[in-house]
A = this chain, B = another copy of it.
């Protein structure tokens, strides 16, 4: 399946780079894909090593256990996602309000990806013991970083209550992610974006010309 003559970067150098071709990188991206698509508990070690094209020994030498692999996946995927998300709303400049208005268009393009499977952190919490803090703490840590960035922008924008606005936007983001995972309709991001406009305050609302544009796409939600 995988050609054995593949060039190999020095393992330490290209650690978690996304297109990492080392055994570690291949295992991480295979595990990320399968955990997100099928769920963590439903994904066996054999499926991961098959997709990664590595041997079982390699996985256990590099990660020690499935549990460690799960944590490594969440850490690397969380980092990559946050870099993408913050980059997507910051790139292009403009004032804080302009940046906040890029949140839901960015999410929409994510929802439209073939390999969009929802938020790995929410999903991880959903399929584990909810009386234990393990995964909930990891998820909250991730969400706090995102929230902090949004709150900074809300403050910069001069919102009356930046903390409140940021939390409300976060609720819309989570709601949109979940709705998109269930319905597979990227259009929910438009709906959430429209709701966000209402939150910015009636005075400074910059809604699209046709406010019902988002609703037109809600064929099957």
- The reply to whether the CB of A12 lies closer than 8 angstroms to some CB of chain B is no
> Which B residues are in CB contact (< 8 Å) with A181?
122, 125-126, 130
Cross-chain contact B215 with A163 (CB below 8 angstroms): yes
Instruction: Please encode chain A, from 9 to 42, with 1 for each CB lying within 8 Å of some chain B CB and 0 for all others.
Output: 0000000000000000000000000001111111
Contact, CB under 8 Å: A172 / B195: yes
A174 and B125 alpha carbons, distance in the complex (Å)? 15
Where the two chains meet, the residues of A that have a C-beta atom closer than 8 Å to any C-beta of B are: 36-42, 117-118, 121-123, 125-131, 136, 139-140, 143, 147, 161, 163-164, 167-168, 170-176, 178-179, 181-184, 188, 191-192, 194-195, 198-199, 202, 211-212, 214-215, 218, 220-221
On whether the beta carbons of B143 and A130 are closer than 8 Å, the reply is no
Contact between chains at A182 and B136 (CB < 8 Å)? yes
A199 to B205, CA, bound (A): 12
Nearest CB on B from A211, distance (A): 7
Q: If the complex has contacts A136-B183, A172-B175, A172-B195, are A131 and B37 also in contact, measured as CB distance less than 8 A?
A: yes
Contact B212 A164 (CB under 8 A): yes
Contact A171 B176 (CB under 8 A): yes
CB distance from A17 to the nearest CB of B (A): 26
9 A-B pairs with the lowest CB-CB distances in the bound complex, closest first: A175-B175, A202-B202, A127-B127, A171-B175, A126-B126, A39-B127, A123-B126, A41-B41, A168-B195
Q: Which of B167, B179, B188, B195 contacts A215 (CB 8 A)?
A: B167
12 additional A-B pairs beyond A37-B129, A122-B181, A139-B182, beta carbons within 8 Å, are A37-B131, A41-B41, A42-B129, A122-B182, A123-B126, A130-B181, A140-B220, A140-B221, A161-B211, A164-B214, A168-B192, A174-B175
Provide 7 A-B residue pairs closer than 8 Å at the C-beta atoms, listed in order of the A residue. A39-B127, A121-B182, A123-B127, A125-B181, A164-B212, A168-B192, A171-B191
